Structure 1
C-alpha cells in the first residue's frame, strides 16, 4: 500500500473511532413538560425536584430540559413535538390532559420513549406512571374526620377525572371511619393551578362551615386562606408547612426522583419497556411529611397508624363492600379494586351528598 493511501485510510479509521467514541459519550437527553410553573410549590414543583435529582444522580450522563406552564391541548402537542424533534431520547409529560397529545406525537417519533403521568393510554413507546394518591387521601380523611369540630370538611377539586373522584372518595371514607357524622363539601375550580380561584374556593367552603381544608390543586393558596381564618388544612403534593405554620396539619409529598432515575437507566441500558407504574407509600414515592407537633397526640398517632397499615398492605381503602351514593353496590365484600378499575372510578361513595359534574 502506498504511504499516502495508508495515511488516508488510517485517518479515516481514527476519525470513525473518534466519532463512535463521541456518540457513545453523548448524554441521554430527557425532556419534561409541566402544566404549571415550577414555582407552584405543589405538583409541578415536585416534578421539577425529581428532574433535578435525576441530573444530580447521573451527572454529565443525563441532560434535561423542561417547559413549564403548558396548557393541556394543542399547545401541549406543539411542545412535545419540539422536544422530540430536538433530539430528546425520553420525554415525561406530567398532566392528565397531556395524554392524547403524547400518544399522537409518540406515533410520529417511534424511536423516542415517552412516559405520561396519571393517564391510561399506552403504546410501544409510551408508558404511564402515577401515584397511589388515594392512600394519602385516606390518611388525610382520618385526620380531617378526627380534627373537625363542625363535622364538615371541604375539598377543592380540579377536574372531574377518575383520579380526582377516587381521591375525594378516599378522603370521605377515611373521615367516615373515625367520624360517622362527618360531611364533605366539594367545590370544583376546573384548574390545576390558579391561586386566585383556589383562594376563592377555600373561602366559599369556610363560609359554609368547613373547618378542615383539603385540595386537589397545586398552589398553597387554600392553606394561606385557612391560616387567615383559623381553619386547619393539609398540604398537597409538596411540603406546604411554611405557608401556614399554625393551620398546617401535615403535607402529602410526591417524590418523583426515584422513578425518573429508574426510567433513565432503563433507556440507557436499552431495556426500557412500556408499563403502567403505580407508586405509593410502599415505595416511599408518596410520603406524609411535616406533621404539626401541636396536633393532639391521639391525632398524630392515628395519622401514623393509618399510614403504616396502608404501607404494609394490611389495609386497602378500596376493598369492599362499598356502595355508591345511590345505594348501588360497586365493590363486593372482600374484593379489592384493581389498578385498572381504580383508574376508571366515576362514582361517589355512599354518604357523599353531591353529583359529579359532566
Structure 2
C-alpha cells in the first residue's frame, strides 16, 4: 500500500463510509511526511519498517508517503484503521495531535508517534536522541574549519532542530570557543532548491563546514562537494554521495526500538509512554569519518564518545548560555528531558532566529 498523496486521497474518499475492520496488531501502518526513498529521514524510518518485516514473523506492513502535517494525515490514518491496521507508526513531528484525536475515536488501535511530549490511553511516543552525536560531529567540524564559521541548514524552528543546532555548536565551541554557526531555515522538510541556494550562499560567505537537518541530505552534500566545502550528515549515511566533502554524520537506527514496542503490544505489556534511546542505546549512530579528518581528531572524538556512552559526560550540563546572554542552566546542573524536548532557544554563537 505505497500510496502518494493524490492516490491516497482517492482511497480515503472511497472508503470513509465503510465500517472499520477489527484492529489487527499484526497489521502495521507507517505514515511518512515525504518519500520513503528520500535517502534521509523517511528512508531511516522505512529501514525501521523493513527491519520489522525481516525480524518479526506474521506481520504485514503498509505505507503512505508524502502525507503533510495537516488534517490530511488524520484521514490517511483513518484509512489504515478502516482496513484493519491495529498499530500505526506516525513518523513525523506534526502528526501527534491528529494521532491523539483519532486515538479517542479508535481505542483499540495503538499509535506510536515519533517524538513529542503528549500521550493518551493508546498513543505513545518514541524517539532516538541524536544530540550526543551532533555534539561529536560539532567537535569534528570545529577541528576541521579554518574560518571558524560554520553553517546549519534546518527545515523548521522546532525543538528537535534547536537541539541539533545547539549540540553541534557546543561541540564546535569545545575546540574553538570563537566558532559561530549561521542558521538558514528552509520552511520545509524537503526543499532541494532552497537547500542548494543556502549551501551556495554559505560557501560564498566563507563558511567551510555545513551541517543540516532536513529530510534528505543529498542536495546539500552534493552541492557542498561542488563548492569545496565540508559537510556533516544527518539521518542516513551519505558518505558515498560526497566523499570529498564528508566529515562525519549522525544516522538513525529505528528498527530495534520499533521491534520492542511492537512485541510489547503483541504480548499485552505495552503502556503509553515516552520511549527514548540514544547513542549509548544504539538508536543513534555516529557515522564513519571522512578521509580528510585527522587521526588526532578521530582519537579525540572517539574518546569523548566513550565518555558519553559510559555516562561520564553529559552534553547538556551547564553553563549553557543563550544567544542573548541569558544563562539557561548554571555550572554543574543539567537540563532534564522535558526542557530538552521543549527547547526553544539557540545558544551563544549561533547566528539565526528562533521564530
TM-score by length of 1: 0.90
Residue number in structure 1 paired with 2:308: 310
Consecutive unaligned residues of structure 1, counting only runs of 5 or more, are: 1-22
Residue number in structure 2 paired with 1:295: 293
The alpha carbon displacement at 1:207 in A equals 1.5
The alpha carbon displacement at 1:158 in A equals 0.9
Q: Given the alignment of the two structures, is residue 206 of structure 1 paired with residue 203 of structure 2, yes or no? A: yes
Moved over 4 A (4+): none
Q: Is the 8 A contact 2:149 2:179 kept in 1?
A: yes
Consecutive unaligned residues of structure 2, counting only runs of 5 or more, are: 1-21
Aligned length: 332
Equivalent residue runs for 1:25-40 within 5 Å: 28-40=26-38
User: How far apart are the structure 2 equivalents of 1:341 and 1:231?
Assistant: 34
Q: Provide the secondary structure at the position in 1 that maps to 2:293.
A: coil
CA displacement, residues 225-284 of structure 1 (integer Å, 9 cap, x when unaligned) = 110011110111011111101111122110000011111111110111111012101111
Q: Provide the secondary structure at the position in 1 that maps to 2:328.
A: strand
**Residue of 337, 340, 353 corresponding to 1:339:** 337
CA displacement, residues 167-213 of structure 1 (integer Å, 9 cap, x when unaligned) = 11111111001002211111000111122221112112211111001
User: How far apart are the structure 2 equivalents of 1:355 and 1:229?
Assistant: 26
Worse-superposed segment, 260-269 or 316-325: 316-325
The alpha carbon displacement at 1:65 in A equals 0.7
Q: Provide the secondary structure at the position in 2 that maps to 1:89.
A: strand
Q: Given the alignment of the two structures, is residue 73 of structure 1 paired with residue 62 of structure 2, yes or no? A: no
Q: Given the alignment of the two structures, is residue 62 of structure 1 paired with residue 59 of structure 2, yes or no? A: yes
User: How far apart are the structure 2 equivalents of 1:351 and 1:225?
Assistant: 25
**Residue of 242, 250, 253 corresponding to 1:244:** 242
The alpha carbon displacement at 1:333 in A equals 2.1
Residue number in structure 1 paired with 2:161: 164
Q: Provide the secondary structure at the position in 2 that maps to 1:104.
A: helix
Equivalent residue runs for 1:1-358 within 5 Å: 28-59=26-57, 61-219=58-216, 220-357=218-355
User: How far apart are the structure 2 equivalents of 1:251 and 1:323?
Assistant: 25
Which of the two has greater helix per residue? 1
The alpha carbon displacement at 1:27 in A equals 7.0
Q: Provide the secondary structure at the position in 1 that maps to 2:112.
A: strand
User: How far apart are the structure 1 equivalents of 2:88 and 2:331?
Assistant: 41
User: How far apart are the structure 2 equivalents of 1:294 and 1:354?
Assistant: 29
User: How far apart are the structure 2 equivalents of 1:57 and 1:185?
Assistant: 42
Q: Provide the secondary structure at the position in 2 that maps to 1:283.
A: coil
| Cα distance change, pair 176–196 in 1 and its aligned pair in 2 (3 A) | same
